[in-house]
C-alpha cells in the first residue's frame, strides 16, 4: 500500500483525507445531487464505495431501513467477490472473520438401506485453482459494514441516509446538458420527520432497492421469467447433532426427494440449513410461507435420517419461494431508443434479477453490477469518458444476469430431483465440479464494445482472455525484491491498468519495450499524454506497469524507461512500485501464456481485461483508448 506521496501520513492510511465535496458535505440530503443510490444492500454499497473515491462527485445513498442491517440473508462469498474486496482494501480482514469453504460433501441415500443417507464424493471446492482467493461464508451485514467503512473513509465521505424511502421517480424527456433530469420523491420512514416527503433532483439514479424495486416500477421495467413453484425453509441454527459433516458444506439428498443444503457459518457453532419444502401448488396463495420453524426442523430430521438434529437456538429463519426472473433491461432507455438517448436511471442487483439462494450468487452478482455502473458513472461525471459509456452497463450486465438465471435454474432443479431420477448416481457432484468456474464468479466474459477490444492478438497472452477478469499471478518487485501479486495492486480507484510485458532484452538495451515506452512517454499521439489531465499525476488515469522476464536482481531500476518510474504528488516523488520481474518459481510469462516477444495488456477499472496487443501496435492501443476515454 502506498500513501506518503502527498506528505507524511501518521494515522490510519485507510482513512483518506476528505477532499472536494467531502470537506463540507451537508448533513441533510441536498436538493440536487450527482448520483442518488437507492438502497444500501450489496449493490448499492459497493456503488457508494466506488463513487466515494471521487471527491467532486456528489453521491448520496438513501435507505428505507432505520439503520445498519443487523442480520442479512446472504452469506456465501465467492472468490471473485473476495478479489473485489481486495481492490477495496478489506479482503484480509473479512477473510479472517469468515468461514472458509475448502470442500463440499455430497450425501445421498444408501443403496442398501435407502431410508439412510451416506456420504458420497467430497470434491475440493476449487479443484483447478481458479483463484488465489478463498470461497467464504460471512454474513451480508458484515459485507455492508466494510463497504460502509470504505465509503465513509474515502475522499467524498459518503454515508447512507437511513430512514428514507423512494416513493416516486420521474425522468424528464429532454434534459439539457448539465441538467438534473431525474426527480425523486423520498419519504421519511423513521425519526421525527416520519411521513414527510422530500424531493431531490439527480443527474443519475442507481436503483439498488432489491427485488421489489420501486425504481424498476417507476421506469416501467418488468421482471420477466417463471413464477416460483418450489419452496425452501432456511434457518440459521445453533444445534447439537451426530451428523458428522455439520462443519462441512453439504448437499444432502434423501430417498424421498427431500434435500438440504448445509452451510457452516463464520464464528463456529452456527450453521445454515436450507431445507427443501417441495413443490408449491398453484393455488397455494403464499400459504407455504406460514411454515413454522418447528416444521422445518422436523423435515430436516427426516432428511438426515439416521442422524438427528437437536436445535437449541434459531437466530434467524425464513421461508421463501423465488422465481427465476430477469428485468427486460437494466436502465431507463427503451430498446428502440438504445444508442440515441443517455440512460439516467440504472437497476442493479435484485432489482433486476432474482433467483434461488442455493447457488449463493445473488449478493455476489449484485456487487459486480454495482461496481460496473459506479466506475462508469464516475468516468462520465469526471469528464474522463463520453456518456455513451453508460449504455455498456445494461449490455454487459444483462447477459451476466441471464447466465446466472440459467445456471441457478439447473442447479435448483438438480438439487430438488430425487437421486434415482438423475441420469447417474454422481450426476449432482459432477455438475458441481464441471461448472465450478461459474459459482466462483469467473465465467463472466464481456463481448467487444467501446471498452472491450477484439481478440485478434489473444495468442500473445492466452492466460488473460479479453473480456474476462484479469487473473493475477505472482511477480517480484524490482526496487526491493518483494514478492507481489500483480493484480493486487489494482485498487478500486477508477484507474485503468496498462501492463507492459517486456521482450527478452534487459533494460537499457535496444528493445521493443524500450521503443514502446519511449512512444508512450513522449509521442504526440501517446494515449498517456492524451488522457492524463495536465494537473494530474502521470498515472492519474492510466496506471502503467512493466514486467520483465529477467530475475529482479539483474535489473537496475534506474535503467528502466522513465514512463515506468513516474513522478507523482506535490513533491514529484518517484513511484518505485511500477516495475516488476518474473518470479522464477512461478513465472508469470509461463503461467499466463505471455509471448516472449512481449505484449501489452489493458485492464479496466473493474479488473476485466480490455485488450491484449503487441508492443508494436501503438495505433491500435491509442485508437482503442480514444474510443473509451475522452481527451483530458
Check residue 181 for interaction with ligand FAD (CB under 6 A): no
Give the up-direction half-sphere exposure of residue 497: CA atoms within 13 A in the CB hemisphere: 27
Rounded Cα–Cα distance for residues 502 and 615 (Å): 8
Q: How far is the CB of 263 from ligand FAD (least distance, A)?
A: 7
- Binder of ligand FAD out of 183, 248, 301, 318 (CB under 6 A): 318
Sheet of strand 99-101, all strands in order from the earlier edge strand to the far edge: 76-77, 135-137, 99-101
- Binder of ligand FAD out of 357, 452, 582, 610 (CB under 6 A): 357
Residues 371, 377, 378: CA angle, nearest 5 degrees: 90
Site size for ligand FAD (CB under 6 A): 35
Check residue 207 for interaction with ligand FAD (CB under 6 A): no
Alpha-carbon distances of 422 from 107, 257, 260, 429, 545, rounded to whole Å = 14, 11, 17, 11, 51
Binding string, residues 414-453; x marks residues near ligand FAD by CB under 6 A: ----------------------------------------
Q: How far is the CB of 361 from ligand FAD (least distance, A)?
A: 5
420: left (phi over 0), alpha (psi -120 to 50) or beta: alpha
Give the binding range for ligand FAD (CB under 6 A) out of 205-213, 250-258, 301-309, 440-448. 205-213
Alpha-carbon distances of 93 from 82, 138, 142, 145, 356, rounded to whole Å = 11, 12, 11, 12, 29
**631: three-class secondary structure by DSSP:** coil
Give the binding range for ligand FAD (CB under 6 A) out of 172-180, 356-364, 464-472, 499-507. 356-364
* CB contact set of 93 (below 8 Å; sequence gap of 6+): 146
* CB contact set of 365 (below 8 Å; sequence gap of 6+): 349, 353, 400, 401, 404, 441
Check residue 527 for interaction with ligand FAD (CB under 6 A): no
Give the binding range for ligand FAD (CB under 6 A) out of 5-13, 37-45, 194-202, 379-387. 37-45
Rounded Cα–Cα distance for residues 379 and 504 (Å): 36
Q: Which is nearer to ligand FAD, 75 or 539 (CB)?
A: 75
Determine which helix (DSSP H) or strand (DSSP E) holds 393, and give its type and residue range.
helix 391-416
Q: Which is nearer to ligand FAD, 109 or 360 (CB)?
A: 360
- Binder of ligand FAD out of 33, 35, 36, 38 (CB under 6 A): 38
Three cell numbers written together for 553: 536482481
- Binder of ligand FAD out of 166, 374, 615, 617 (CB under 6 A): 166
Q: Using CB under 6 A, which residues numbered 238 to 277 contact ligand FAD?
A: none
Check residue 349 for interaction with ligand FAD (CB under 6 A): yes
Give the binding range for ligand FAD (CB under 6 A) out of 154-162, 204-212, 335-343, 431-439. 204-212
- Binder of ligand FAD out of 34, 63, 125, 476 (CB under 6 A): 63
Cβ atoms within 10 Å, residue 29:
15
Q: Which is nearer to ligand FAD, 73 or 426 (CB)?
A: 73
* Closest to 360 (Cα-Cα) out of 147, 136, 595: 136
- Binder of ligand FAD out of 22, 89, 134, 360 (CB under 6 A): 360
Q: Which residues bind ligand FAD (CB under 6 A)?
A: 38-44, 62-65, 73-76, 140, 165-166, 208-210, 214, 234, 318, 320, 349-351, 357, 360-364, 366
Amino acid at each position: 500500500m502506498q500513501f506518503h506521496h502527498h506528505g507524511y501520513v501518521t494515522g490510519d492510511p485507510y482513512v483518506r483525507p476528505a477532499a472536494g465535496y467531502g470537506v463540507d458535505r451537508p448533513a441533510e440530503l441536498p436538493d440536487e445531487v450527482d448520483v442518488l443510490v437507492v438502497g444500501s444492500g450489496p449493490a448499492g454499497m459497493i456503488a457508494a464505495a466506488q463513487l466515494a473515491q471521487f471527491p467532486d462527485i456528489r453521491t448520496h445513498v438513501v435507505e428505507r431501513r432505520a439503520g445498519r442491517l443487523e442480520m442479512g440473508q446472504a452469506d456465501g462469498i465467492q472468490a471473485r467477490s473476495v478479489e473485489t474486496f481486495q481492490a477495496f482494501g478489506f479482503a484480509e480482514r473479512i477473510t479472517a472473520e469468515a468461514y472458509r469453504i475448502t470442500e463440499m460433501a455430497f450425501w445421498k441415500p444408501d443403496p442398501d438401506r435407502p431410508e439412510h443417507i451416506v456420504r458420497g464424493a467430497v470434491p475440493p471446492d476449487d479443484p483447478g485453482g481458479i483463484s488465489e482467493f478463498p470461497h467464504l461464508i460471512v454474513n451480508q451485514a458484515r459485507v455492508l459494514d466494510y463497504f460502509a467503512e470504505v465509503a465513509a473513509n474515502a475522499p467524498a465521505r459518503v454515508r447512507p441516509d437511513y430512514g428514507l424511502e423512494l416513493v416516486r421517480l420521474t425522468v424528464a424527456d429532454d434534459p439539457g446538458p448539465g441538467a438534473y433530469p431525474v426527480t425523486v420523491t423520498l419519504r421519511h420512514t423513521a425519526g421525527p420527520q416520519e411521513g414527510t416527503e422530500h424531493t431531490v433532483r439527480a443527474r443519475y439514479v442507481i436503483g439498488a432497492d432489491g427485488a421489489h424495486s420501486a425504481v424498476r416500477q417507476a421506469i416501467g421495467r418488468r421482471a420477466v421469467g417463471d413464477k416460483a413453484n418450489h419452496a425452501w425453509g432456511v434457518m440459521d441454527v445453533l444445534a447439537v447433532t451426530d451428523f458428522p459433516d455439520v462443519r462441512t458444506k453439504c448437499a444432502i439428498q434423501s430417498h424421498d426427494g427431500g434435500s438440504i443444503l448445509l452451510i457452516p457459518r463464520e464464528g463456529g457453532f452456527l450453521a445454515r440449513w436450507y431445507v427443501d419444502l417441495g413443490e408449491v401448488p398453484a393455488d397455494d396463495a403464499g400459504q407455504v410461507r406460514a411454515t413454522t420453524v418447528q416444521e422445518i426442523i422436523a423435515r430436516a430430521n427426516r432428511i438426515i435420517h439416521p442422524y438427528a438434529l437437536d436445535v437449541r437456538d434459531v437466530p434467524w429463519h425464513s421461508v421463501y419461494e423465488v422465481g427465476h426472473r430477469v428485468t427486460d433491461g437494466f436502465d431507463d432507455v427503451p430498446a428502440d431508443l438504445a444508442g440515441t438517448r443517455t440512460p439516467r436511471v440504472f437497476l442493479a442487483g435484485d432489482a433486476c434479477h432474482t433467483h434461488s439462494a442455493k447457488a449463493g450468487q445473488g449478493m455476489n452478482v449484485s456487487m459486480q453490477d454495482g461496481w460496473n455502473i459506479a466506475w462508469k458513472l464516475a468516468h462520465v461525471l469526471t469528464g474522463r469518458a463520453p456518456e455513451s459509456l453508460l449504455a455498456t452497463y445494461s449490455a454487459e450486465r444483462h447477459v451476466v444476469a441471464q447466465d446466472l438465471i440459467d445456471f441457478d435454474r439447473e442447479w435448483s432443479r438438480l438439487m430438488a430431483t430425487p437421486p434415482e431420477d438423475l441420469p447417474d448416481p454422481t450426476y449432482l457432484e459432477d455438475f458441481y465440479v464441471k461448472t465450478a468456474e461459474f459459482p466462483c464468479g469467473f465465467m463472466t466474459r464481456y463481448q467487444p464494445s467501446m471498452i472491450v477490444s477484439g481478440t485478434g492478438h489473444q495468442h500473445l497472452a492466452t492466460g488473460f482472455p479479453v473480456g474476462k477478469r484479469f487473473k493475477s499471478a505472482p511477480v517480484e518487485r524490482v526496487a526491493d525484491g518483494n514478492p507481489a501479486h500483480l493484480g493486487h495492486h489494482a485498487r478500486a480507484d477508477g484507474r485503468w491498468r496498462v501492463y507492459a510485458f517486456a521482450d527478452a532484452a534487459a533494460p537499457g538495451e535496444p528493445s521493443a519495450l524500450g521503443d514502446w515506452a519511449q512512444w508512450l512517454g513522449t509521442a504526440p499521439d501517446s494515449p498517456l499524454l492524451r488522457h492524463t489531465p495536465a494537473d494530474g499525476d502521470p498515472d492519474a488515469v492510466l496506471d502503467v506497469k512493466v514486467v520483465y522476464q529477467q530475475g529482479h536482481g539483474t535489473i537496475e531500476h534506474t535503467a528502466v524507461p522513465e514512463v515506468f518510474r513516474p513522478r507523482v504528488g506535490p513533491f514529484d516523488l518517484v513511484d518505485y512500485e511500477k516495475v516488476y520481474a518474473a518470479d522464477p518459481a512461478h513465472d508469470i510469462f509461463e503461467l499466463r501464456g505471455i509471448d516472449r516477444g512481449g505484449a501489452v495488456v489493458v485492464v479496466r477499472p473493474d479488473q476485466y481485461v480490455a485488450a491484449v496487443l503487441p508492443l508494436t501496435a501503438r495505433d491500435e492501443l491509442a485508437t482503442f483508448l480514444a474510443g473509451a476515454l475522452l481527451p483530458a
